[in-house]
Amino acid sequence: MAKIVNVDEVIPGMAPAANVYDRRGRFLIGKDVPLTSRHIRILKAWGVMEVSVDIPENESVDALPDIEDKYLAPAEQYMKRKFAGTDLDYAPVAELFRLCVRRKATALKSGTESESRMAREFEIPAGASVFPNQKEKLRNLLSDPVLNNIDLPSLPTIFHRLTNVINNPRSSSKDVADIVSLDTGLSARVLRIVNSAFYGFASKIDNISRAVILMGAKQITALALGVQIVNTFKNIPGELINMESFWKHSVSCGIAARTLARCKNMPNSERMFIGGLLHDIGRLIIYNFAPIYGREAIATARRKEIFLNDAERCVLGVRHTEIGRSLLKRWKLPVSIEHLVAYHHTPMSAQTPMEPALICIADIIVNAIESGSSGEKLVHSVNPNTWDLTGLSPGVFPAVIKQIDRQLAEIIRFFFHD
């Protein structure tokens, strides 16, 4: 029986059910060749994340440790509640659910999770209800042109210079390097991120010009813009949500989106990272500039057991995706990033759906493993059309989760600590 598994779950002696190629289509290992430890190292070195292997029907592949039922039972019960809006018979959802149950059970066994905290996760926040006349006032506040009446934190001049450069087809790589280099703090932060294990360059990159040459002007510009936005919003006090948790969720989504993009061998994966980083920024605007409505939206979502995105529409008359899109439009960010934010819940509605689809899948994974939170407690359903469009297989989930676990702390440190 052939089964697609993550490369980390491959055991020496297994044989590929088909020829194995790297992401660029280069032949690596032939069909039916018994895999050795050296073969497995080669697969990892060439970026192969999953492989189809022949497994006897009476055997299973599961690299996760055995866990007692006393931990698995409450973990499964909890995850069934989180996955209530999904189809657990759908293969991608079933595999993600399985991984999350084992992950939660492992946390319970190690003591890093508790049943009491799990019970509190779905509590309905206290707060006054929003009356109809207040809703109309909010719609006016957030309607088109959205955000014009909100006193948003001011962005530094360099942000606007960068957006002008990225939107000008005549701009050169030197223009980008010159602008980023003007701000020593921004330059230092960008270089620290570029030199991190997140990118894994063999030698140290010691100036922005070299970073632009190696990574490309668009990638460096997107990264610099992301740094500027995070720095602008990171210290806003959150009345409804822990801001550390919000940014943990956002960065995790960026890592997941970038990993999925690299699985697909897509160019400009940094845009995907920035799209993941900013995908819920509209929700941040709600929480900080309309907290009463944000609290009511969260309460409505938990009381009715619906997705927060739908509760926002019921309570506010507008979704965070619409607010986020208007915000990025106001900031004159590239339309490509604006669309990632606007369509990350409805990628099939986008004119070019592939990239929003990857952000959508990344967001689902991050919500499922509870790597931070932007307020949503349920796992969104995986639209089969969206899943088929991406061409991914469930075997990619462990690799994405592993990248989040490996890189999250480091990226958080570079983005949020001077």
Within this chain, do residues 296 and 334 fall inside the same structural domain, yes or no? yes
User: Do 179 and 50 lie in a common domain?
Assistant: no
Residue 362 lies in a domain: yes
Q: Which H/E stretch holds residue 126?
A: none
Query: pLDDT tens, position by position, for the chain (418 residues)?
Result: 666 777 777 777 778 888 888 767 778 887 877 888 788 877 777 767 777 776 655 444 444 456 788 999 999 999 999 999 999 999 999 999 999 999 999 999 999 999 999 988 888 876 656 555 555 555 555 554 445 556 665 667 887 788 788 778 888 888 888 988 888 888 888 888 888 877 778 788 988 988 888 888 877 887 787 787 777 776 666 667 788 899 999 999 999 999 999 888 887 777 899 899 999 999 988 887 778 888 888 988 988 899 999 999 888 888 999 888 888 887 878 888 899 999 999 999 999 999 999 999 999 999 999 999 999 999 999 999 999 999 998 889 988 998 999 889 888 887 776 6
Yes or no: say if 97 and 75 are a contact pair by the CB < 8 Å rule.
no
Which structural domain, as residue segments, surrounds residue 221? 174-232
pTM for the model stands at 0.81
Q: Per the domain annotation, does 148 fall within a domain? A: yes
Domain end marker among 232, 256, 274: 232
What is the residue type of 42?
A: I
Task: Characterize 311-343 residue by residue with b for buried, 16 or more Cβ atoms within 10 angstroms of its Cβ, and e for exposed.
Answer: bbbebbbbbbbbbbbbbbbebebbeebbbbbbb
Among 277, 285, 224, 282, which residue's Cα sits nearest to residue 252? 277
CA distance 240 to 287: 6
Claim to verify: residue 416 and residue 293 sit in the same structural domain: yes
Helices (H), 183-307: 184-194, 208-215, 217-233, 243-263, 269-278, 281-289, 291-304
Looking at the fold, whether 302 and 400 belong to one and the same domain comes out as: yes
Of all helices (H) and strands (E), which one includes residue 333? none
Work out how many domains the chain is built from and give that number. 4
CA-based radius of gyration for the chain: 22
DSSP per-residue codes, 263-283: HTT-S-HHHHHHHHHHTTHHH
Give domain status of residue 158, yes or no: no
Give the Cβ contact number of residue 174 at 10 Å. Answer: 11
Phi/psi for 305 (5° steps) reads: 55, 50
